[in-house]
Chains A and B, each alone.
Chain A
Amino acid sequence: MKYRLGIDVGGTNTDAVILDEANKLIAKCKRPTTQDISSGINQAVEAVLDISKIDPSSIQHAMLGTTHATNAIVERKGLARVGVLRLGAPCGLALPPMMDWPDDMPAHIGSNYRMVRGGYEYDGKFISRPDKSEIESALSELKELGIEALAVSCVFSPVNGDQEMEASEIARKIFGDDFSISLSSEVGTLGLLERENATILNAAILNIANNAYSAFQNILKQHKITADLFITQNDGTLMAVDYARKYPVFTIASGPTNSLRGAAFLSGLSDCVVVDVGGTTTDVGVLKAGFPRESSMAVEIGGVRTNFRMPDLISIGLGGGSLVKSDDDQVRVGPESVGYRITEEALVFGGSTLTATDVAVASGQFSLGDPGLVSKMDKGVRERANVRIKSMVEEIIDRMKTSAGDIPVVLVGGGSIIVPKELKGASEVIVPDNFDVANAIGAAISQVSGSIDGVFDVATKGRDAVIAEVKQAAIEEAIRAGADEKTIEIVDLEEIPLAYLPSNAVRFRVKAVGELK
């Protein structure tokens, strides 16, 4: 029997699960997330191996969802000094790299950039011909400035990545083979500044990510686990650890995505609304064909604007530890919360703070701690708090739905016991088994993907030929990422006409997904 180990590092808890070949849950556990992250992971791995009693060498794949990358950027810790090479001049000189960054960032990563000739038009023509000697001298200047990592961007590189590749080959000669180089065509989609920003952030966190992954590999080694290691990314698919070492920026915000994917797996539904309730916040997302719906908005990470493929989520300040406050006839629930101190401060645990969990226990929705401690709760307060919680969740579900009809709702997360099982807009409310470790399960069952995003001229080739071409390109990307060719399917095909001009330029975004080989 071969097993999978799934680990998810959350703000409060680090969860670990082991699944068998049929994806049946063998063991699960929760351990507090530690300051250094690694020791929490170590404790969780140790515990879950103990519980399962399996031979560690029979674990074939290990999947980790971690917050290392996000924390480094938000807390500005241990970031590398990055040099930026942008190909595209004379285009873009009006808006140099990093111009819209938070004022405190240059102190951490510098503001060293060079803009050189190159770049493409939407149809692949050169904006200007790249000049090897210009690139060489720009890179030599960046080297003089003492940069520790390089980010390369190029106008319309999502359509053609050749110039970035050529520039990185020149950089290899100047900086040596071990130098960290990030290419924007590998990092993001159309929108030069956002893609360039993401590439720079990626270059800045390479070292931190590498150390984290090495630490994780050591933990596995200590426990005699010889599995291939994968890291979960924010679109709900996996990266092999060697690829994650090059592009750690994709791991940002993978936590909520893991919960959504876990909810899909546990409930068996591929199209539903997922309500993930933690101790302090509730995230609501939508699954479409088994994958989280992606946000169309620009996402800021630590004050830097990016265009990551983030799940479309609404978060509200409602969780198991939310404070319940009543004045006159008004009852408020959240956004303040006792968080992880719930086991000391909630009434059912002998504390003195009225929380949403106490209301749920007093209403008989769930038994936890000592229900006797809340049996005397004021009926009016209890009822009004329940009405408030219900309406908060219902409104968010309504906002997230894509059509007017009712849709199944899946409740996951440790705090979801506070949500009533009858909700307006829900065709049914499902609380699956193991709802409390949906995120780690989501990590364990993740697949691999390949995506294409570019502008194509449909006039010359014809729309059908272009669609066939982009689909094939996405499938090849997925195979490169480690997918089993037989299981690959196209899960997303978006056709975005370019407004304002009667030309036949159309933007296609395609994603192919498959099972791990």
Chain B
Amino acid sequence: MRYLNVEDIEYLAIGAAVLGTGGGGDPYLGKLMAKQAIKEKGEVRLISVEDLADDDWVIPTAMMGAPSVMLEKLPNGGEPELCFKTVQGFLEKPAVATMSLEAGGINSCIPVYAAARLGVPLVDADGMGRAFPEIPMVSFSLDGVPASPMVCADEKGNQVLLRTIDNAWVETLSRAVTVAMGLSSMIGLYVMNGKTIKQSAIRGTISLCIEIGKAIIDAHSRNISAVDSILKITNGFPIFEGKVVDVQRELSTGFVRGRASFEGLGPNKGQVFDMDFQNENLIGYIDGEPKAMVPDLITVLDLESGTPITTETLRYGQRVIIIGMPCAPIWRTEKGLKQVGPRYFKYDLDYVPIEELVGGVESKEDRP
């Protein structure tokens, strides 16, 4: 057990952007809210999954909507309480903690904000170990945990309670509700007890984000690159060093899809790296050959500083290193791949783990 202070939030947001694989948007507002709540209400207790009794209820919290609208229509502050109280109405006793659903962007920080406002601890875990675009794409969902009862609350005090027949309907209906609420809402869903969390949650994500973020900031202060520390902490692999030469984006069905191309530098001189994304980075190819694929994590880092670069801020001329990190084991199971594997994202590819695709890279190059 530890306490999260204002500085930890800074680390958390940067680390979550590394695990966020290019998605999740600008964490500024989430950071600001979490820091403000900690200043007002005190530090947030971070408890491990093991600290939960089997019958302790936990209500995860998140925000959904269009990032550019969230930057304009700021929260009221009372939303976590609305979500919590309404979901809690279905339980035989009060919930003891909240939890994050995904690492990345604003949703790494919102649960900290909710925990501070509610005066409950935050569980050191999440449902993805990275970021994904849809609500059913969490480890608990694979184990049959229903996302509903789910509450969408807006800044005006409106709440919509969803009771659905399956998690796909949660996705469909909560999006429609969020649009009607003015393109943003705060949500409480996937209520679980300690027993279920111990079985299904991806453990230690919050402290992992903080560790990664701290490594990056420490490297900056010593004027060294943070890339090696990130690879060590995440068991990741360097995939490609290069320069962004092209970024194409298009919008389809509410998601920003696109492709970025990189020209090789240093050890990859003469090669080309292409990367497909749909909010998050999905597939990376060297000279047309897949070298990393979803659900493994593909993240673009600034070559000099190791700072993660989101798909929104990719621009021609940036010098970057693309790294790949193994995903949580649950995503590599048959049901995991069915939910988030390459074929789910409409690629005619069989999933091959990153260790096999680039496992040989390390021995071939001596990285400084």
Alpha-carbon distance between A398 and B315 when the two chains are bound, in angstroms: 12
Q: Are A93 and B77 in contact, with the CB atoms below 8 A?
A: yes
Within 8 A of A (CB), among B124-166: 133, 155-157
Chain B CB within 8 A of A303 CB: no
Chain B CB within 8 A of A122 CB: yes
Interface SS of chain A: loop
Chain A residue, CB-CB nearest to B154: A91
Q: Are B66 and A94 in contact, with the CB atoms below 8 A?
A: no
Chain B residues whose CB sits within 8 angstroms of the CB of A399 once the complex forms: 317-319
Q: A500-B65, A500-B279 are in contact. Are A190 and B72 (CB under 8 A)?
A: yes
Alpha-carbon distance between A263 and B175 when the two chains are bound, in angstroms: 49
Chain A residue, CB-CB nearest to B255: A499
Chain A residues whose CB sits within 8 angstroms of the CB of B25 once the complex forms: 499
Q: Give per-residue flags for B309-321: 1 if the beta carbon is below 8 A from chain A beta carbons, else 0.
A: 0000100111100
Residues of A in contact (CB 8 Å), total 44
Alpha-carbon distance between A501 and B155 when the two chains are bound, in angstroms: 18
Chain A residues whose CB sits within 8 angstroms of the CB of B319 once the complex forms: 399
Alpha-carbon distance between A298 and B76 when the two chains are bound, in angstroms: 23
Chain B residues whose CB sits within 8 angstroms of the CB of A404 once the complex forms: 245-246, 263, 316
Chain A residues whose CB sits within 8 angstroms of the CB of B65 once the complex forms: 500-501
Q: Are B36 and A127 in contact, with the CB atoms below 8 A?
A: no
Q: A90-B156, A92-B155, A99-B32 are in contact. Are A500 and B72 (CB under 8 A)?
A: no
Q: Are A94 and B36 in contact, with the CB atoms below 8 A?
A: yes
Q: Give per-residue flags for B324-342: 1 if the beta carbon is below 8 A from chain A beta carbons, else 0.
A: 0000000000000000000
Q: Which of A119, A125, A402, A498 contacts B68 (CB 8 A)?
A: A498
Alpha-carbon distance between A93 and B78 when the two chains are bound, in angstroms: 9
Q: Are B69 and A503 in contact, with the CB atoms below 8 A?
A: no
Chain A residues whose CB sits within 8 angstroms of the CB of B67 once the complex forms: 499-500
Alpha-carbon distance between A92 and B251 when the two chains are bound, in angstroms: 29
Chain A CB within 8 A of B182 CB: yes
Chain A CB within 8 A of B183 CB: yes
Q: Are A91 and B155 in contact, with the CB atoms below 8 A?
A: yes
Chain A residues whose CB sits within 8 angstroms of the CB of B253 once the complex forms: 502
9 extra A-B contacts, CB within 8 A, seeds A193-B71, A496-B68, A502-B253: A92-B76, A94-B75, A94-B76, A399-B319, A498-B68, A499-B251, A499-B256, A503-B179, A505-B69
- Per CB-CB distance, the 8 closest pairs between chain A and chain B, nearest first, are A94-B77, A502-B254, A497-B251, A498-B66, A92-B74, A399-B317, A121-B182, A91-B155
Alpha-carbon distance between A398 and B178 when the two chains are bound, in angstroms: 42
Question: Which chain B residues have a beta carbon within 8 Å of chain A's beta carbons?
Answer: 25, 28-29, 32-33, 36, 64-69, 71-78, 133, 155-157, 175, 178-179, 182-183, 243, 245-246, 251, 253-256, 263, 279, 313, 316-319
Our count of residue pairs bridging A and B at CB distance below 8 angstroms stands at 134
Chain B CB within 8 A of A57 CB: no
Chain B CB within 8 A of A507 CB: yes
Chain A residues whose CB sits within 8 angstroms of the CB of B75 once the complex forms: 91-92, 94-95
Chain B residues whose CB sits within 8 angstroms of the CB of A498 once the complex forms: 66, 68-69, 183
Q: Which of B71, B78, B251, B316 contacts A190 (CB 8 A)?
A: B71
Q: Give per-residue flags for A201-240: 1 if the beta carbon is below 8 A from chain B beta carbons, else 0.
A: 0000000000000000000000000000000000000000
Q: How many Å from the CB of B300 to the closest CB on chain A?
A: 15
Chain A residues whose CB sits within 8 angstroms of the CB of B29 once the complex forms: 95, 193
Chain A residues whose CB sits within 8 angstroms of the CB of B33 once the complex forms: 94-95
Q: Give per-residue flags for A366-408: 1 if the beta carbon is below 8 A from chain B beta carbons, else 0.
A: 0000000000000000000000000000000011111110000
Chain A residues whose CB sits within 8 angstroms of the CB of B254 once the complex forms: 499-503
Listed A/B pairs (30) with beta-carbon separation below 8 Å: A90-B156, A91-B73, A91-B155, A92-B75, A93-B77, A94-B75, A94-B77, A95-B33, A99-B32, A100-B32, A121-B183, A125-B182, A127-B155, A127-B156, A155-B74, A156-B72, A190-B71, A191-B72, A193-B74, A399-B317, A399-B319, A403-B246, A404-B263, A496-B68, A497-B256, A499-B25, A499-B255, A500-B254, A502-B254, A505-B183
